[in-house]
Amino acid sequence: MPDLLTHALVGYIIATALSFRYGWLTPPWVTVCMMGTFIPDLTKIQLLVPSYRIEQLLGVPFDWFGLHTVGGAAVSVLIGTILVPRGHRRRVLALLAIAAGSHLVLDSLLVSPTGYAAPMGWPLLDSGLPTPGIYLSSDRWPALLSGLLAALLWASTRRDHTRS
Amino acid sequence: MIETRWTRLLVLGLLIGLLCSLLLWAGTLEADPTRNVFPDEDDFAVDYDAYIGADVETDGTILATNPVVVEVTPDGHEPLELTLTNVDPPTVQEDDQISVFGTLETDATISVTTITVRSPWEFQYMYLVSFLAGLWTLGRFRRHWTLNTDTLSFSPREEP
Is the pTM higher than 0.80?
A: yes
pLDDT for res B41: 96
Among A11-15, A68-72, A138-142, the minimum mean pLDDT is found in: A138-142
What average pLDDT score do residues A126-151 get?
95
Residue numbers in B near A137 (CB within 8 A): 126
User: With contact defined as beta carbons under 8 Å apart, do B150 and B5 qualify?
Assistant: yes
Strands, DSSP E only, in B1-156? Answer: 55-65, 68-72, 80-85, 97-105, 109-118, 145-148, 153-156
Give the 3-state DSSP-derived string for B22-51, with helices as H, strands as E and coil as C: HHHHHHCCCCEHHHCECCCHHHHCCCHHHH
List residues bridging with A135 in a β-sheet: A110
Cβ separation B26–A137 shorter than 8 A: no
Contact A35 B137 (CB under 8 A): yes
Taking CB atoms and an 8 Å limit, are B133 and A52 in contact across chains?
A: no
Tell me, yes or no, if A59 comes closer than 8 A to chain B by beta carbon: no
> Using CB atoms and an 8 Å cut-off, which of residues 76-135 of chain A contact chain B?
76, 78-79, 82-86, 88, 111-116, 118-119, 122-123, 126-130
Which ipTM did the prediction report?
0.93
pLDDT one-digit tens code per residue, B16-51? 999 999 999 999 999 999 999 999 999 999 999 999
Q: How distant is the alpha carbon of residue A52 from its chain centre?
A: 25
Instruction: Show residues of chain B in contact with A122, CB under 8 Å.
Output: 26, 29
Q: Which residues of A touch B159 (CB under 8 A)?
A: 26
Out of A31, A35, A63, closest to residue B23 by CB = A63
Integer Cα distance of B155 and B145 in angstroms: 5
* Set of chain A residues whose Cβ sits within 8 Å of the Cβ of B34: 127
pLDDT at A164: 57
Q: Are B24 and B74 in contact (CB under 8 A)?
A: no
pLDDT for residue B2: 81
Residue A34's pLDDT band (cuts 50, 70, 90) = very high
* pLDDT digits 0-9 by tens, A67-105: 999 999 999 999 999 999 999 999 999 999 999 999 999
Q: What is the pLDDT of residues A141-150, one digit of tens each?
A: 999 999 999 9
Contact of A102 with A14, CB cutoff 8 Å: yes
Q: Which of A118, A115, A92 is nearest to A40 (CA)?
A: A118
* A142 φ/ψ sector (left φ>0, alpha ψ -120 to 50, else beta): alpha
Percent of chain B as helix, strand, coil, to the nearest 5: 40, 30, 30
Mark out the alpha helices in B38-103 (DSSP H runs): 41-44
pLDDT digit string (tens) for chain B, length 160 residues: 788 999 999 999 999 999 999 999 999 999 999 999 999 999 999 999 999 999 999 999 999 998 999 999 999 889 999 999 999 878 899 999 999 999 999 999 999 999 999 999 999 999 999 999 999 999 999 999 999 999 999 999 976 5
CB contact under 8 A, A72 and B136: no
With 80 as the cut, is the pLDDT of residue A162 above it? no
pLDDT at A142: 95
**Residue of chain A nearest B7, judged by CA positions:** A82
Q: From chain A, pick out residues whose CB is under 8 angstroms from the CB of B72.
A: none
pLDDT given at position B70 = 97
- Model confidence at A163: pLDDT above 70: no
